[in-house]
Amino acid sequence: MSPSLLADSLLNGLAIHKELNKEQFIGALYSDTLSSDAADQFNAAGAQRLELKVIAKRLSARRLNSLWIEGMAINNPANLLTAQAENMVAFTAMFKRSLRAGDVINVRGEGQQTTVHVNDVKLGTIESEQFFDMVMRTWIGSVPLSSDFRDDLLTNGNVDNELLARYESIQPSQARKQAIAKWLQPAPPKPQQVAASKPVVATPAVAIVAPAKPTIAPPPVVQQPTLVAAAPNIEAPASAAQAPQIPTAAAAPAEPAEPAPEDTFNADEEALLDEEELLAEEDFEEESAPLLTAESLLSRQLYHSKLLKWTYKYIRYPKRAVSRGHEGSVRVAVVIDREGNVKNVSEVESSKYSTLNKEALGAVNRAIPFPAIPDEIEGEEFAFSLPIVFKLPK
């Protein structure tokens, strides 16, 4: 089909992002240059836009910001992360509350500016020539939200008609536009926080090494397969003793592939939401989340990179998968406590081969205990995702 035209950019591709096999949002990449090559999009001249339309009942601000922060940490080099730390903090601070089904995020890059709108309400502008590409790498970089998600965004304008119709039908209500506009109103200071307020810490010179592609020992069946993953070159801790096993319940299979009807967007659904209950959940989310500064963001990104490097040491390409030519992408969500013990693990994205899915969970099992949470990171637990691409040499 002919590429769709919206405003001043062409629709390059549409993709659905799922977590635990439930649809979260539809993403769209708009560009003046149509291409199926990610490099062409990063080198494209003119305006580009990333648009996100929420189809889950609720997408928490914390979860959304985690996607941005992890994606930027994995797909961008150390010097750029350090230089853009303040901008990353400003960007994530724009999303103050949870998003609902029908909400639309629009991130536009043009020249030296990245402008963010939600439901046609302008939330802010980042003044940087490099920042939009940093955000775009979370979707189409070397380690995206998922390989299928990236591939569907890079279709050179050839999008599925049914998905396009569904996407275009999602529009924010006037009530939601007014609710987003209230995000721009300054919140009254809480009495107990006035005296304890501190200035934002300046960006530290923290070195985060650019992602690399680790390899594993060649199996006896074919030449060496590789695990395409973002394994930063960070000094790994000494090998741990035999790790305890993850509880069986934690490594349970993912839920059925088809999302339940109640988790997808419906035009009448917003009216059925309990507004007071959701607002209470959002208030709790805001109060329980630690204050994000440039220093704390870089600390979290550095620690996340360390956890990836630690886990990738334990990944093996299953011999049966090699002999059968099986390839695929798996993303595992892990939650650990301050001592590095696993509290929960689940498959966020599964491949179509059970051997690859089991190996991803097995790697987490063998990696226990993880390096302890550093003192500079607040909270009693740390959640991170582990992306793995099993790929055989051609």
Topology of 5-184 in CATH?
Chalcone isomerase (3.50.70)
pLDDT at 8: 61
Please give the DSSP secondary-structure letter assigned to residue 263: G
Cα R_g (the chain), whole angstroms: 21
Cis geometry, peptide bond prior to residue 77 (ω within 30 degrees of 0): no
pLDDT at 341: 96
Average pLDDT, the chain: 78
Q: For residues 384 and 229, which has the higher predicted lDDT (pLDDT)?
A: 384
pLDDT above 90 (res 151): yes
Number of other residues whose CB lies within 10 A of the CB of residue 117: 18
How does strand 48-54 pair with strand 104-110? antiparallel
Residue 38 CA to residue 51 CA, distance in Å, equals 17
Q: For residues 6 and 85, which has the higher predicted lDDT (pLDDT)?
A: 85
End-to-end CA distance of the chain: 32
Give this prediction's pTM.
0.70
pLDDT at 147: 84
Residue 227 CA to residue 311 CA, distance in Å, equals 12
pLDDT at 188: 64
Q: How far is CA 373 from CA 8, 116, 237, in A?
A: 46, 33, 13
Q: Which of 113, 91, 95 is nearest to 104 (CA)?
A: 95
pLDDT tier for residue 149 given thresholds of 50, 70 and 90? very high
Mean pLDDT calculated for residue range 19-47 = 92
Q: What is the pLDDT of residues 53-72, one digit of tens each?
A: 999 999 999 889 989 988 99
pLDDT at 97: 92
Residue 330 phi, psi (nearest 5): -135, 140
Instruction: Find out whether 170 and 27 touch, Cβ atoms under 8 Å.
Output: no
Instruction: Find out whether 168 and 23 touch, Cβ atoms under 8 Å.
Output: no
Q: Which of 362, 361, 331, 360 is nearest to 348 (CA)?
A: 331
Residue 111 CA to residue 132 CA, distance in Å, equals 10
Number of other residues whose CB lies within 10 A of the CB of residue 57: 19
Taking the domains of the chain in order of start, what are their residue ranges?
5-184, 206-391
3-state secondary structure of 116: strand
Residue 326 CA to residue 356 CA, distance in Å, equals 8
Q: Which of 40-49, 248-257, 301-310 has the lowest mean pLDDT?
A: 248-257
Residue 337 CA to residue 382 CA, distance in Å, equals 6
Mean pLDDT calculated for residue range 40-49 = 92
CATH architecture for residues 206-391: 2-Layer Sandwich (3.30)
